[in-house]
Amino acid sequence: MSLSPAVLAIGTALPAHRYAQEEIYELAARYSAFYRTERVRQIFMNSDIDFRHLSFDINEFNPGESLDDLHRRFHDNSILIGSEAIRRCLASGGYTGDTVDCIVVVSCTGYLCPGLTSILSKELDLRKDIQRADLLGMGCAGAMPGLQRAYDFVKAYPDKKALLLAVEICTACYYLDDGLETAVGNAICGDGAAAVLIGMSEEPSVPKIRGFATHLEPALLSAVGFEQREGRLRINLSKDIRVLAGDLSQTVLNELLAKHHLTKDEITHWVIHSGGRKVIDNIVKVLNLSDTQLAHSKHVLRHYGNMSSPTVLFVLQETMARSRPHAGEHGFMLALGPGLAAEGAILDW
């Protein structure tokens, strides 16, 4: 087998505060009569989410927190769990920080300047000649363009390695109003970070990245993302996403299968972003998959919720750890996000 860009190592990290879904619902209901309605309660309790990790203590939460408080939450916790995910990633493969020639960081839940690539390079004592790229505003799909930038770097410099970090502090965007969009966001979003190291490999034990595909629907630009309200980030999350997810996934899958001369039956591992229960159900229906084939996506949703960009990398880690793919098997990796964008990739073992 020839050398190909591959996922050499992977690591994830979460905030220390872990709460049951009922506890998170009760927090919102404590401060909003709208959340005390049965309709909103059912959104939380029928989400197929049991637990999520948050970057604040719900017993100390202050609904009147300032913009500075929100910014500080993103700053402190993105560095905390981002650096931990990177350390775990490198340690899992026996690598050190000196191995990293390029770092790409993806996030949409906060803004820092200098960016996280610079901050984490200092935090982790990475090399002073490291190449850097901060990718902002790509939402839940962000890990895939980030992965492609790391892939491009390794293709251009085959003797080098690139590190991708996807980190989101969704609680830095915590927003309460009487909108169902924000209720859904508060019912499914959690905090998390995931890092992968990309480099050339021919080893059958690591997933090789064969190629990528993107499909944009510009007419649905406002369907998902964030808007600014008095300086605060408020989620936009159209209900149309859950019924469009399957068709968008099918479009990207078909393009990748045709380009790489594969059939759907040759895909053994389905690494699908855990966007929410109804999103997963729609993908299962349209792609004619079984619940077992999306078991890892469902597991990540149940235990962590939708962490935005890191989520699909959590699913990849779960796939590698639980399914233990064999040489010769193929995977389809997919995430959906603002744009409206579907971002996919084919993986080979």
Return per-residue pLDDT of the chain as tens, 349 residues.
578 999 999 999 999 999 999 999 999 999 999 999 999 999 999 999 999 999 999 999 988 899 999 999 999 999 999 999 999 999 999 999 999 999 999 999 999 999 999 999 999 999 999 999 999 999 999 999 999 999 999 999 999 999 999 999 999 999 999 999 999 999 999 999 999 999 999 888 899 999 999 999 998 888 899 999 988 999 988 887 888 899 999 999 999 999 999 999 999 999 999 999 999 999 999 999 999 999 999 999 999 999 999 999 999 999 999 999 999 999 999 999 999 999 999 999 9
Residue with token string 């790509």: 138
**The predicted structure's pLDDT at residue 92:** 97
- What tokens does 99 get? 């191995």
Q: What is the DSSP letter of 328?
A: T
The answer to whether 4-201 and 208-348 have equal CATH topology is yes
Q: Which residues contact 94 (CB under 8 A, 6 or more apart)?
A: none
CA angle 249, 250, 256 (to 5 degrees): 90
What superfamily in CATH does domain 208-348 come from? Thiolase/Chalcone synthase (3.40.47.10)
Which among 6, 260, 10 is positioned nearest to 158, based on CA atoms? 6
**The predicted structure's pLDDT at residue 312:** 98
**Three-state SS at 296:** helix
Q: How far is CA 334 from the centre of its chain?
A: 10
**Three-state SS at 206:** coil
CATH assignment of 4-201? 3.40.47.10
Residue 78 phi, psi (nearest 5): -65, -35
Distance CA 97, CA 120 (A): 11
Burial class (CB in 10 A: 0-12, 13-18, 19+), 68: exposed
**The predicted structure's pLDDT at residue 1:** 54
pTM: 0.97
Distance CA 57, CA 240 (A): 33
Residue with token string 């169902």: 180
Task: Kindly report the number of other CB atoms within 10 A of residue 326's CB atom.
Answer: 10
List strand residue ranges (DSSP E) for 76-143, in order.
Answer: 102-107, 131-136
Which among 111, 175, 108 is positioned nearest to 143, based on CA atoms? 108
CA angle 74, 164, 242 (to 5 degrees): 70
Which among 97, 102, 89 is positioned nearest to 316, based on CA atoms? 89
Distances (CA, A) of 11 to 21, 110, 154, 206, 269: 25, 22, 19, 14, 19
Which among 205, 160, 152 is positioned nearest to 8, based on CA atoms? 205
Peptide bond into 316 cis (omega under 30): no
**The predicted structure's pLDDT at residue 19:** 98
Distance separating the N- and C-terminal Cα atoms of the chain: 10
List the chain domain ranges.
Answer: 4-201, 208-348
